[in-house]
Structure 1
Amino acid sequence: MSERPRVTDRAARPASATTAEGSRAGRTRPRGGARGVDQRFDSSFSTGTQGLTNARTRIVGDRTGIGADLLVLLVRATRGARRAIRRAFTSASSVVTPFGWSMLVAAPLALLAGYLLGWTEFVVVGFAAIVLLVVATLALIGRNAVRITLEIPHERVAVGAPASGTVRVRNASSRRILGVSVEVPVGPGLAEIDLPSLRSGDEVTESFDLPTTRRGVVAVGPVSTVRGDPIGLARREIEWTGVTEVFVHPRTIGIPSTSTGLIRDLEGNPTRDLSPSDISFHALREYQPGDERRNIHWKSTAKTGTYMVRQFEESRRSHLVIALSLAAGDFANEDEFELAVSVAGSLGARAIRDAREVSVVVGETTPEFAKRKHLEIRSLSTLTRNRLLDELAVVSTAESALAITDVARVAGDQVVGISVAFLVVGSTTTVTEMRAAAMQFPLGVEAVAIVCDAETVPGMRRIADLTVLTIGYLEDLQKSLARTAGA
């Protein structure tokens, strides 16, 4: 058993683009009903470029026309060509080392200088470089007869929790292997394992640590063996395993069930809306055409001589909506956003555990070269706690992401039956913006804004129909929600 491998930095892999879910057009319903005429909007874009911050606006601003489109097309073509050149160079660099590139350049230059100037020394150096390149090429031929497996005990861990992986290497050939160099990509780093010589049938196990200091997805693998020449002119990597993803979940905290949804109902919470058929009895009234005969109260009918029917209060199950802003302008720094993700995860996990109906939504990002701001939201999976935390592990802020007001606007139109709406924002979000976001939900919706700000004293305040909770640490969430439910 050799000592634990050291993880070194390497080029980070590009994150996969998130596919935006489609949305439907609808009608906004202003809170309070005193805003005048309803506004219709297209769910795919809004008119104008006000509030839009993407690559197109940085290049041409508000300008339109053929000239602006040609300039944008030129920039996009330049970026595409740059990416293609980078991919080709990366592919070639994976085989030829920097020392190998220098030898490839030195060999023809030395021969050319030797024959033109008549210097035998340069000719010898040129042919020596060619011989070394040929030997390095021959050293790449062949394949190590080993069997390599990658084992990750836990594919889901909380941020800051210890995690590790294991690589097992077995000599499956009938002869001794002098030495094997194994590389394991671990997120942005690389674990290098130099194994000793192995006899036929021998097996070696090496473990390595996984970085869990930051929320996200750590890609582990593929495990590969490195074959090359002794001088280090070229190298050949052979992959033996696939890629295993380890989800580093945001930190969450337990929230009491009585303070999760602010509505403590099990089979439905009675409202002030009357219904001809439900479970919560309200009063008796005279029979009207269309009433069901099974609701006739015969004793009262016999006393009054008039048909009397039962009137009920409509019951509704509480539907929680947790709207998390991804707009970079809604947060002062990265720590505020990480706290906001933990808040959304804690609220959602408690609601899932209580078997409540919950929707966790985030704003989509407008494409870089779009002409208009896209009004779209993405609903995170709430089937299980792990599925929700898996998706929260990969969310990140963006300059062109929808602000909390737009997220609430689309969520209020698309999500049906909302009873409580949590708006999770940072310290740079103003009270005016929070109130405007709360007014996008229908009447009767309890709106609670949770402001993540470590620089202020935690507290609670009531602004019209909006409850604003300010927290500096995740532990403040538990006390603040309990205080809100009590109030």
Structure 2
Amino acid sequence: MSGGPGPGRWLTDRLSTLLVVRMALERTGAPRTAVAGALRWMSPAGWAAAAAGLPATVAGRHLGWAELVVAGAALLAVLAAALVFTVGRQPYGVDLRLSSARVVVGERAVGAVVVRNTAARPVLPARVELPVGTAEVAFPLPGLPRGGEHEEVFAIPTARRAVIPVGPVRSVRGDPLGLVRRAVSWTQVHELYVHPRTVGLASGAAGLLHDLEGRPSSDITASDLSFHALREYIAGDDRRHVHWRSSARTGTLMVRQFEETRRSQVVVALSRHEADYGDPAELELAVSAAASLGLESFLEEKDLTALTTHEVLPAVSRGALLDALTRLETAGGPRGFVAMARAVSRDLPHASLVVLVCGSGVPVRDLRAAGAVLPAGLRAVAVRAHVQDEGVASVGGLTVVTVAELDRLPRLLRRAVR
């Protein structure tokens, strides 16, 4: 009896076929990648020319319509000519330079793109594109001789607080009709930090900060500034703290004990709930006020903790704090102003001064509730950004400073100290 191939033979044939296909794909991997890259050079206009030219040529020949064949062939010829503009290497060395990686709102920020011809022969003109934030800068690159260099200077707008990505620099070759374009990226993305504007508070916040040092606690230590009591000497005690007069009178070695003096801790807490601000200008004013208070704390050499309704900000240095505030954006959700004050009370019970920063959207009842949850005896101030009002008032246990312009913040803080 004769029969068809068994299941084993069928399975073997299928596996052999799959193996052959896989080997063919692997061998053609590089050409397929090159073809895919070339196809990406086609613009929508180029694809439209190809989609119109090829069917027109085929249909014209099939129908015997010479005019249609000529039109289709002309479109394909134009597309083929456009591809010639993209052929060849782009032998460039490109540097992207920023005058400074960090500026303040309103300061001048300048960058430069330097393009060098690294080939042993001249290169044809091209175009350079540079994304700057959400915009894009483009300028023509002239033909460069061997070793030639071209520099283009550009300005970056710094009208508002932001982190602006600059780059990558792309060299672009293409045809005049825009059918084909070939872009090559040469640099990494650089970030320009546009820091919030700040104001010096030495004349205003000094009264809030100067008298915070040297707050004694109930913790007893063997060495500090605030004397507490005498006790008998214990092996291992520092003999520099022996009170010799009392020791001579009692006949027993007596040493001094001290109250541990805590270093003052300043907390700047900023709300970033969108509902807490009447408009974007209030948010910018609040961020600038928080930044000014933070910088004043660094200037006065206080321990600073900076946080928002959503996270703790890095406050190890002036630059780290300003960078974090530059990235800050509002968030939705329920208001968290009172919850932020409660978190300060829970996590930072030994703080010397707490400054809560918010906008005009925070109601008076929330200000009163925030003051109520903070520890008794703690100096607490709320700085409230309001573009149409200013003044100093007491709401519960909280001193509320309402500020309309950043430059007036020192004067209002001085009123709050009085």
What's the TM-score bracket when you normalise by the shorter of the two chains? 0.7 to 0.9
2:327 to 383, 394, 398: 394
The secondary structure found in structure 2 opposite 1:176 is coil
Q: How many angstroms does 1:265 deviate by?
A: 4.7
Q: Which letter maps to 1:434?
A: L
Could you tell me which amino acid in structure 2 is paired with residue 209 of structure 1?
A
Compare CA radii of gyration and give the structure with the larger one.
2
In the alignment, does 2:387 pair up with 1:441?
Answer: no
In structure 2, the residue matched to 1:409 is 342
Farther-moved stretch of structure 1 (214-223 vs 441-450): 441-450
CA distance in 2: counterparts of 1:305 and 1:460, whole angstroms: 60
Of all paired residues, the percent bearing the same amino acid is: 39
Offset, 1:443: 3.0
Letter matched to residue 134 of structure 1: A
Which residue identity is paired with 1:201? G
Q: For residues 306-341 of structure 1, what are the alpha-carbon distances to aligned partners after superposition, in whole Å with 9 as ceiling and x for unaligned? A: 999978655222111111111000000000000001
In structure 2, the residue matched to 1:60 is: none
| Corresponding residue number in structure 1 for 2:360 | 427
- Indicate the SS of the match to 1:476: helix
Match of 2:373, SS state, is: coil
* Shift in alpha-carbon separation, 1:424–1:93, aligned structure 2, 3 A: farther
User: What one-letter code is carried by the residue in structure 2 that aligns with 1:433?
Assistant: D
Among residues 306, 322, 334, which one is paired with 2:280 in the alignment? 334
Unmatched 5+ stretches in structure 1 = 1-90, 365-377
Q: Are 1:216 and 2:149 matched, yes or no?
A: no
Number of the residue aligned with 1:102: 48
- 1:356 partner letter: K
Q: Deviations over 1:348-378 (max 9, x none)?
A: 11112222111111133xxxxxxxxxxxxx2
Alpha-carbon distance in structure 1 between the residues aligned to 2:285 and 2:325: 12
Q: What is the alpha-carbon distance in structure 1 between the residues aligned to residue 281 and residue 269 of structure 2?
A: 18
Does the CA-based 8 Å contact 2:387-2:405 persist in structure 1?
yes
Q: TM-score, normalised by structure 2?
A: 0.79
Task: Please show how residues 114-129 of structure 1 align to structure 2 within 5 Å.
Answer: 114=60, 119-129=65-75
The match for 1:350 is 296
- Unaligned runs of 5+ residues in structure 2 are 1-36
Offset at residue 274 of structure 1 (A): 4.0
Aligned to 1:473: 405
Equivalence for 1:54: none
Cα pair 1:261 1:318 within 8 Å, conserved = no
SS in 1 for 2:131: strand
| Equivalent in the alignment of 1:269 | 214
1:450-481 alpha-carbon deviations (Å, 9 max, x no partner): 1100111x211122311100000001211122
Local SS of the residue matching 1:393: helix
- Measure the CA separation in 2 of the matches of 1:411 and 1:137: 64
- TM-score, scaled relative to structure 1: 0.69
CA deviation digits over 1:207-246, x for unaligned, max 9?
A: 0111111111111111111012343211111112111111
SS in structure 1 opposite 2:208? coil
Q: Aligned to 1:264, what secondary structure does the other structure show?
A: helix
Aligned residues: 376
- Counterpart CA distance in 1 for 2:312 and 2:39 is 41
Question: Contact 1:419–1:445 at 8 Å: present in 2 too?
Answer: yes
Distance 1:168 1:235 in 2: 22
User: Pairwise CA RMSD of aligned residues?
Assistant: 3.3
Flag the structure with more relative contact order, 1 or 2, with Cα contacts below 8 A and sequence separation at least 6: 1
125-134 or 165-174: bigger deviation: 125-134
Q: Measured at CA, do residues 94 and 414 of structure 1 come closer, stay the same or move farther in structure 2, by a change above 3 Å?
A: farther
Task: Report the AA paired with residue 270 of structure 1.
Answer: R
Q: Provide the C-alpha distance between the structure 1 equivalents of 2:402 and 2:378, rounded to a whole number of angstroms.
A: 20
Secondary structure in structure 2 of the residue aligned to 1:478? helix
1:379 to 312, 328, 349: 312
- In 2, distance between residues paired with 1:183 and 1:384? 36
